Amino acid sequence: MPELEDSTVKPKATFDPNILQDLLPLYYKRLFPHKQFYRWMSYGRSESSVFSNREFSFTLQDDIYIRYQSFETQQELEREICSKAPFKIDIGAVYNIRPKDHRGSTAIQPVQRELVFDIDMTDYDDIRTCCNEANVCQLCWKFMSIACRVLDEALREDFGFEHLLWVFSGRRGIHCWVSDKAARHLDTAARSAIAMYLNLLISGGEGTASRVIIHDEMHHSVRRAYRIVAPLFEEICLVDQNMFGKPEGVRKLLALVQDASVRAELEKRFKTVANDSKGVWKEFVAYFDELRMSGNSNRYRRFKFIVEEVTLAFTYPRLDINVTKGFNHLLKSPFCVHPKTGKVCIPFNPNIASKFDPTDVPTIIDLLKEVNAFDEKNTVEGEENRSKIKDYKKTSMFKGTVIFEEFLRKLEQTFKGKAAALSDMKMEF
């Protein structure tokens, strides 16, 4: 393996995208989990043509884009990945024919695809104050952690899905792949219905925060989401982001109140606590508590859930619902290397998403140095013994592969024996 300046593992430095083309062949040859990836995409061969009819898309250097690729075996896919060393691998739908045979065919139609969710940190730019655009830190990652918890519980409890793979996108967001058979076979209408069910936020327009509207009663899924986000609102919104510490943030808060006279009264109260997010929020809550106690039931009824609505408006997951609705939407594969950051799109545990640190995700340089460092440290064991250890087990990527393995283990339990049954069916005359 070529030297990467030196084989001593050092603190992470700024990644230079220009070196990616030289490192990707090594990464795909030694670190990419080809076998596990195939196990996922083939679903234990429990359904006919589920792997061979799957679309894969490669983005090569200089944004050369190759769509409608398909493969018959793990070896064929691995050989092509290692040969082309793509800057990005996207996963598409499973079609009714092999995607590579689509030219000249008018009959190509998607027949199944994981139910996918995409949450991008840039969709929080109107409320986060610590970062903007493509940047992300541990403070704004808390929005991603909340999104993961809210969606994970909703998908499991409201829809009964069990096999969810959560993946850091390599730069500024997260992806969720729901891989249950029932989820994979949902039609476009059902995907749209689920996306709309989970999408509480209503766009507030340019320069204003999105809003949430709760009618006469809180739906159980909204109540569950509120239970998750409410204890974290002060820490994230008032302390970390100091959302109402500047006039712009106060204006966004006031814009969520649909009554000019109430806004004017709140504005007066806020002047006594200017530049103090905690003080502004305390006055906001107190005002509506007083309104509730005033006996003016008609006026209060309009604002019965205003505190809950505002709390959710600033913390609820901001979904790209078009990704979820689209049956044949392409989404970046886990274990890709992000071409801008050099970071690996690594799976993470949704139960401890708050402990995940996006700033500490290994880059391709870190991983290759870790392999070199491990090999040099263990030269006394002899080359033959060292070669028995999988290279990814020598690196900080190992934890992500363990999470992927556990996801696969549980998924594969659901179709044990089905591959053999399918094989028997094909032999019947």
Cβ atoms of 318 and 149 within 8 Å: the answer is: no
CA-based nearest residue to 176, from 58, 320, 68? 320
Pairing of strands 331-332, 88-95: antiparallel
| Rounded CA separation 232/316 (Å) | 12
C-alpha triplet 307, 308, 311: angle, nearest 5° = 85
| Rounded CA separation 242/15 (Å) | 31
Instruction: Report residue 275: phi and psi, to 5°.
Output: 65, 20
Instruction: Report residue 111: phi and psi, to 5°.
Output: -120, -20
The residues, any chain, with a CB within 8 Å of residue 291's CB and separated by 6 or more, are: 299, 300, 303
| Rounded CA separation 208/349 (Å) | 33
How buried is 199 (Cβ within 10 angstroms: 0-12 exposed, 13-18 middle, 19+ buried)? Answer: middle
Active-site residues: which are they? 55, 118, 120
Helices (H), 271-394: 277-293, 297-301, 306-315, 321-325, 364-377, 383-386
Cβ atoms of 281 and 254 within 8 Å: the answer is: no
User: What count of residues does the chain have?
Assistant: 429
b/e for 350-369, b at 16 or more Cβ within 10 A? beebeebebeebbbbbbbbb
| Tokens at 243, concatenated | 């959302």
| Rounded CA separation 392/406 (Å) | 16
Q: In what order do the strands lie in the sheet with 164-168?
A: 115-120, 173-178, 164-168
